[in-house]
Amino acid sequence: MKIKSAFVGSFIVTLLLLTGCEPLKVLDPKGPQAETTSNVIWISIATMAIIVIAVFALLIFVLFKYRASKQPDDYEPPHIEGSKWLETIIVAIPVIIIVILSVVTVKSTYQVEATPTGYEEQEPMTIYASSSNWKWHFSYPEEDIETVNYLYIPTDRPIEFKLYSYGPITSFWIPQLGGQKYAMSDMVTTLHLAADEPGEYMGRNANFSGEGFAENTFQVKAMPAKEFAEWVDDVQKTAKPLTKEEFDELLEPGHLGQMTFSGTHLSFMPPPEGHHDGHQHGSTDDSEQHHH
């Protein structure tokens, strides 16, 4: 037992040393959606810690008190079928905990699936994020520009990502801004995010999609609205337009650096939206109706 506690102690210290330098990305939110999930995670960690500590304490108590070497040779343990009291308690406690966590879950799930809190009044900006082996294409329909493998967004504005894929299922994930969602080739899913603070964040495909999966990342930069508008203007003026031929080439499997275009591929290769394309789970309006 001594070896074990020494081990556990040193283990925790090591972990603190190794991770203490920087906050873990998921628990270092930079937007309301990630903030919500981070809070849920902390609530669950606290609740679960109580259970884990209770089980550890009970186990250690029982093991110490009832170990054979501590007891008289003639001690014969009693036959106990059960106990109404104890059994009621061990049923009731988990039920109560699960009920509480269920309430937290349902509330927060609706929250992260809707326009971010605090941004309900604003018209969200739409960005189409589509993946191909092993790249990300970001189309800004209103701004009429497109980027590859990097994403610029304005801060303090809700953003509605429309996700789909040219190929295997991928998962669009920017841990510091919010949870992930799948991008599939036969339907468009919707992800609501917003950034509170300017900064650079890591974005990646989180769902295994073959050989180039590990490097299937993109860089996210959140900037004030004015700076964003300037960047859009700049792209409109300097970037070459995206043609169908060029886009077809981009879809070939492989890795590319960051690229910028004026115009989007949405005009000549529309996303799999609408009633006739695939099975619409993430419906285009927020009513979350299912059209099968």
Shortest CB 262 distance to another protein, Å: 30
Shortest CB 58 distance to another protein, Å: 5
Is residue 185 a contact residue for another protein (CB under 8 A)?
yes
State the number of binding residues for another protein (CB under 8 A): 98
- The answer to whether 193 and 178 are in contact (CB under 8 A) is yes
Is residue 169 a contact residue for another protein (CB under 8 A)?
yes
Closer residue to another protein (CB): 136 or 228: 136
Question: What is the rounded CA–CA span in Å between residue 98 and residue 56?
Answer: 20
- The answer to whether 200 and 221 are in contact (CB under 8 A) is yes
Strand order in the sheet with 170-174: 150-154, 217-223, 199-205, 170-174, 178-183
Is residue 14 a contact residue for another protein (CB under 8 A)?
yes
Shortest CB 133 distance to another protein, Å: 8
**Strand duo 189-193 + 178-183: pairing:** unpaired
Shortest CB 233 distance to another protein, Å: 31
Per-residue binding string, another protein, 191-210, x by CB under 8 A, is -----------x-xxxxxxx
- In order of 80, 83, 93, 149, 175, the CA distances from 89 in angstroms are 17, 10, 6, 54, 39
Is residue 178 a contact residue for another protein (CB under 8 A)?
yes
Shortest CB 260 distance to another protein, Å: 23
State which of residues 5, 6, 110, 142 lies at the interface with another protein (CB under 8 A).
Answer: 110
Question: What is the rounded CA–CA span in Å between residue 256 and residue 205?
Answer: 15
DSSP 253-283: SS----EEEES-TTTTS--S-STTSS-BSS-
State which of residues 13, 90, 225, 229 lies at the interface with another protein (CB under 8 A).
Answer: 90
Is residue 251 a contact residue for another protein (CB under 8 A)?
no
**Ranges within 28-67 binding another protein (CB under 8 A):** 34, 36-37, 40-41, 44-45, 48, 51-52, 55-56, 58-59, 62-63, 66-67
